[in-house]
Amino acid sequence: MSQSKKSITILGAGLAGSEAALQLAARGIRVRLVEMRPDVQTPVHVSGACAELVCSNSLKSEKPDSAAGMLKRELAELGSQLYAQAKLHAVPAGGALAVDRAAFADAVSALVEQHPLIELVREEAVDLARAAEGADALVVATGPLTSDALADALARLTGEGHMAFYDAAAPIVMADSLDEQRLFRQSRYEDAGNDVGDYLNAPFSREEYDAFIEELVNAERVIRRDFETRDLFQACQPIEEIARKGHDAPRFGTLKPVGLTDPRTGRRPWAALQLRAEDAHGSSYNLVGFQTNLTFPEQRRVFRMIPGLEQAEFARYGVMHRNTFVDAPRLLDANLRLHAPAADRLGVPVFLAGQIAGTEGYCEAIRSGLHAALAAAALLAGVEPPALPRETAFGALMAYATDPATADYQPMHVNFGILPPFDQHIRNKRERYAAYAERGAQALAAYRDELAQRGLALDGAAGTEAAS
């Protein structure tokens, strides 16, 4: 497909924007990619790199019979460029795909900066009409940290109020500051004594856990009010807010000891924190599930009560950041295109991608960038894009997120709960999940073939090896 005379402006060079830019450029469409960083920074980004990860470095499970694994298969078979880079820059994380975040962002930045059809513009977009000037379409992919000015412009365009609330990022500690005598390396359900586990584990005794929770719930927070559940993604609840729900709540969630055996005692610990490698060299570790709103001095004091972290040096403290997204069921169609009359005011088709479109998750953001790119490329080529099958993970998410009947919408990850059920219920959960994956694979193959028939697939994309 050659459309070099066509051009699309993309706002935001995060996961969704970078994927969309690379997909469109690969199809011969000129891209003006506008990114405000590093000139205008956010509270949590530290660089101007494209696709910089700011929360966890994990892209979740790669198990083929999980919803996250189904999504990765879709990314692989549709030729996602960011997913390919994630695989190239993976770090050990058990059954999950985690990346060396700096190497990943640098690699994506290089792809963007070196592509002859992509112009990377470093400026803050504050006016949607101006951003759309000279473009054949506009993609807004500015993410959860969309600037106030642009968020206000989008709210004025849509006539809908945007919603802002806080998301939480976990701290990172330096590996050489950890007490290896107190920690043990093991993935869940591995045999005790196995030294090849992908996680470090900090085991709590009952007394240590009780003392830690007492200090955690009474520690000083940056935002001095109690969060309501609706204000936060359930998956990113600050650890102190989880503890406020009940003394043992963390022990049945983030700090659950299930599947772990402390080799010092030969028994399951009372509670356990898992630490995951943050980079390929294992020089720093992420405190898994420890998103927090504690002040930096309190994080240093309280988190050093965790066994093995008594002398921990923090490469990054946990932070809270805003999340902005639109009311997708009322504003977007199945191709992530903004409904008229809102878009008509700009005079060009407008697509949204990433978390601002109302999805949650890294791979979901990448997939939405790819999806918006396919829809925009189809529009410019004058062809109708094939319908996204609901049997696929992302198809199910889009069907849910853009269904006008969906009330009180909140962003979510892909999950089996939104996939169409089978006509005949499969009682065994493992067999049911495997059947979901197989059905999704078949639907994906048919969808990919339709893309090829309509001239929307990239050469070789259909033969890309699926995630395993």
Strand locations in 148-192, DSSP E? 163-169, 172-174, 184-185
Q: Among 55, 51, 42, which Cα is nearest to 21's?
A: 51
User: Are 139 and 283 in the same domain?
Assistant: no
- Answer left, alpha or beta for residue 144, where phi above 0 means left and psi between -120 and 50 means alpha: alpha
Q: For tokens 């402006």, name the residue.
A: 9
Q: Which amino acid does the sequence have at 399?
A: A
Rounded to whole angstroms, how far apart are CA atoms 162 and 325? Answer: 6
Binned at pLDDT 50, 70 and 90, residue 226 comes out as very low
- In this structure, are 209 and 308 located in the same domain? yes
Look at residue 283 in the predicted model and tell me its pLDDT.
82
CB 33 within 8 A of CB 112: yes
**Residue 467 maps to a domain:** no
Please state the residue numbers annotated as binding site.
12-17
Q: Is residue 131 part of a domain?
A: yes
Query: Domain containing 18: what range?
Result: 7-166+323-454
Residues 71-92 pLDDT 10s: 999 999 999 999 999 999 999 9
* 110 & 243 share domain: no
Question: Could you identify the residue written with the tokens 């960038």?
Answer: 369
| Whole-structure pTM value | 0.78
Domain membership flag for residue 245? yes
Report percent pLDDT > 70 for the chain: 90
Residues placed in the known binding site for FAD: 12-17
Residue 1 lies in a domain: no
Asked whether the beta carbons of 112 and 120 are under 8 A apart, the reply is: yes
Report how many domains make up the chain.
2
Q: What are the CA-CA distances from residue 135 to residues 122, 132, 339, 465 (Å)? A: 17, 5, 18, 35
Together in a domain, 284 and 397: no
Q: Both 136 and 261 in a single domain?
A: no
Q: What is the pLDDT of residues 26-36, one digit of tens each?
A: 999 999 999 99
Question: Is 389 part of a structural domain of the chain?
Answer: yes
- The pLDDT of 410-436, averaged and rounded, is 87
CA distance 203 to 255: 9
Q: Is position 371 within any domain?
A: yes
Give the separation between CA 310 and CA 179, rounded to whole angstroms.
8
Q: Are 91 and 383 in contact (CB under 8 A)?
A: no
pLDDT digits (tens, 9 = 90+) for 154-163: 888 887 554 4
Instruction: Name the residue with tokens 């509270």.
Output: 43
CATH for 250: 2.40.30
Structural domain contains residue 461: no
The pLDDT tens digits of the residues spanning 316-335 come to 888 776 678 888 998 999 99
Over residues 247-272, the mean pLDDT reads 95
Q: Is pLDDT at 275 greater than 70 in this prediction?
A: yes
Q: What is the pLDDT of residues 339-384, one digit of tens each?
A: 877 778 889 999 999 999 988 899 999 999 999 999 999 999 999 9
Instruction: Kindly state the average pLDDT of the residues 123-148.
Output: 93
